[in-house]
């Protein structure tokens, strides 16, 4: 089982739409996957599920268990202020230490409204993941100008975007 993590808690996010696209791609390639959408996090999880409250919040624990159940992770990383969303960092910080990500293989898909395609966000997240013992595969996909690439049918308009995601998915499945 592969977990696809939509890396923001923004409702109806572009990250979630890319996660849906990626899940369909993995299904086409014959693999099972599940989507972990940070929009499902409890609004107060920082106060109720972390630190002294670690392990006590059933809804946070359900989402964390989704990561535990998979050996591979696809992280859809929107760029927020030249990095990745704080809610993603807080979620990672709430996982059991050393981490629910230790020993897993991960690929990253960066997206942004601008031309960088989440490059800085993926670089920052890669540092965190490697510190936690996650193997980050080199096939990082950048989706710049995501507002122009995503279409109303939850597909991608650009052939290159579709090709890069497929190549990344194939590499993840082969790892």
Q: From first to last of the 175 residues of the chain, give the pLDDT tens digit.
A: 999 999 999 999 999 999 999 999 999 999 999 999 999 999 999 988 888 888 889 999 999 999 999 999 999 999 999 999 999 999 999 998 777 899 999 999 999 999 999 999 999 999 999 999 999 999 999 999 999 999 988 799 999 999 999 999 999 999 9
Q: Which helix (H) or strand (E) holds 36?
A: strand 33-37
Domain region containing 49: 2-174
How many domains is the chain built from? 1
Inter-residue contact 59 to 42 (CB < 8 Å): yes
Q: Give the domain CATH number at 129.
A: 3.40.50.360
Q: Where are any strands of DSSP class E within 49-101?
A: 72-78
Predicted TM-score (pTM) of the model is 0.95
Q: In Å, how far are 36, 158, 172 from 41, measured between CA atoms? A: 10, 32, 26
- Unique residue bearing structure tokens 């990082």: 140
């Amino acid at each position: 089982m592969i977990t696809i993590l939509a890396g923001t808690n923004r409702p109806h996010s572009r990250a979630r739409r890319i996660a849906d696209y990626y899940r369909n791609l993995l299904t086409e390639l014959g693999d099972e996957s599940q989507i972990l959408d940070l929009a499902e996090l409890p609004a107060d999880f920082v106060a109720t599920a972390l630190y002294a409250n670690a392990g006590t919040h059933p809804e946070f624990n359900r989402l964390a268990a989704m990561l535990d159940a998979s050996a591979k992770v696809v992280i859809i990383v929107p760029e927020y202020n030249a990095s990745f969303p704080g809610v993603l960092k807080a979620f990672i910080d709430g996982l059991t230490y050393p981490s629910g990500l230790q020993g897993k293989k991960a690929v990253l898909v960066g997206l942004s409204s601008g031309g960088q395609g989440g490059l800085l966000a993926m670089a920052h997240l890669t540092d965190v993941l490697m510190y936690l013992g996650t193997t980050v595969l080199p096939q990082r996909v950048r989706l710049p100008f995501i507002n122009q690439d995503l279409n109303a049918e939850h597909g991608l308009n650009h052939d290159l975007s579709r090709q890069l995601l497929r190549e990344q998915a194939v590499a993840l499945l082969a790892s």
